[in-house]
Structure 1
Amino acid sequence: MKEFLREQNGEKKAEDWRVTCVKFAPYAPQCNPVEAIWLQLKTLLRRAYRFGKTFKIVKRLFEMFSVCVWV
């Protein structure tokens, strides 16, 4: 990605690029707080996988759990 950006931006200095690439940690809730919620939702799904026979049921589990998290 960085090589592609260098090619696209030509001779400009990195500070003058219009688009840059920033790598974030795979799990960084301090940068993106919603990641903690997604982690809880994925954990719920792993624990309740046997109930998720259809996508509709999985979606409903997400909806029910997200209401509990936000309250």
Structure 2
Amino acid sequence: MGGEPVRARGVPASRVTSGGYGHRVDASIAYACLPVDVEVGEQVEVGVSGMWVPAVVAVEPLYGPEYLRVRTPPR
């Protein structure tokens, strides 16, 4: 939804700016601006409904270049 807290290495790091379900990647996606020392692949936690949910920092784009889960581009 947005506004949920994000913590990295057990300390508050940011808040979610937007989020939702990514049908093409079959996973939930949350966007947040994280400190520069938080690396791609690092596990963080997002506060959702009073619980801390594990998340992994990913680099965009969130789809495979092979278009396995994305519609085939027009020819």
Normalised by the shorter chain, which TM-score bucket? Answer: under 0.3
Query: Which structure has the highest helix share of the two?
Result: 1
Larger Rg: 1
What's the TM-score, normalizing by structure 1?
A: 0.22
Query: Which structure has the highest strand share of the two?
Result: 2
Which structure carries more relative contact order (alpha carbon 8 Å, separation 6+)? 2
